[in-house]
Amino acid sequence: MDITVIAAIEKLRTVNVAALKMHYQKVFGEESRSSNKQFLFRRIAWRLQADAEGNLSERAQLRSVEIADDADLRTRAPKDFLRAAAVNQQWAADRTRSGRDWRLPAPGTVLTRRLKNRQIVVKVLEEGFEYESRRYRSLSAIAREVTGTRWNGLLFFGLAERRHG
């Protein structure tokens, strides 16, 4: 790279945002909408290098135009867009209206889980759960009793997936 370009870039590092904005206008021919010092520095430095080294090749410029022309831009929303949005809004409203955990199935649902030689059968109640004719406040309490270890009840009964991350 040309030593004068390197010197110009190094000088940019020392100037304030107002000076960078003035330099941006001079280099790009338009006022910058950004006042972020790092953004302005990088854009001006890129432009100085591009001017010195040459911009994209003509082939690359033509290819970028082809890619932009090939873009399949949707001009209309899908036919069921409004219906799907209404369903999603209703689902979200249902989740927030009830004090009940939205991940739990409706009362009366029977949850089963096979553990070794046992079939674990739990009935979902309006408040709590029933397992072997006893009431429990949570699925986790049942999972702990059955396994003897700490378990998240939703994971144990397959109502949630473990988050990795």
pLDDT at residue 129 greater than cutoff 80: yes
The span from the CA of 142 to the CA of 23, in Å, is 68
- Cα distances from 48 to residues 28, 92, 94, in angstroms, run 10, 51, 56
The span from the CA of 47 to the CA of 27, in Å, is 7
pLDDT at residue 92 greater than cutoff 60: no
The span from the CA of 58 to the CA of 63, in Å, is 9
The per-residue pLDDT for 91 is 53
- Where do the DSSP E strands lie in 59-128? 110-115, 118-124
Q: What is the mean pLDDT of residues 10-23?
A: 94
Tell me which amino acid residue 4 is: T
